[in-house]
Amino acid sequence: MTKANNGTSIGLKHNYGDALKKSILFFEDKYRGSYSDSLGSTVCPFYCDFGGYQDELVWAAAWLLKATKLHYYQDNVNNNIVNVKNIGEFGWDTKDAGINVLLTKARG
């Protein structure tokens, strides 16, 4: 769901869109976990989640911060960034390096 959230974050600018985006991030934050934990052999070994989900939470909040400039998303980033581990890597399973670039643009 995070990737869908990211894809629509810039396009949804109205109050309804803001409420929807905040609801999706709240859901993701409340029901934390890796998709491969619940889907198991359906996705593994090809698309196992090796890096964890924490970077996805920060990635989503960073995109929403860029789109809305709301302090709620900055707080979310600040609370979850401590769980991001591989600051120099970017790929399908880890967004850590991209988070740094995106936050620089969002705050700039």
**pLDDT, tens digit, for every residue of 1-26?**
454 444 444 555 555 566 777 787 77
pLDDT of residue 78: 93
pLDDT of residue 4: 45
Domain count, the chain: 1
Which parts of the chain register pLDDT below 50?
1, 3-9
pTM higher than 0.85:
no
* Cis peptide preceding 45, ω within 30 of 0: yes
Which structural domain, as residue segments, surrounds residue 11?
A: 2-107
pLDDT of residue 74: 92
pLDDT of residue 31: 80
Among the listed residues 90, 17, 12, the one whose alpha carbon sits nearest the alpha carbon of residue 58: 90
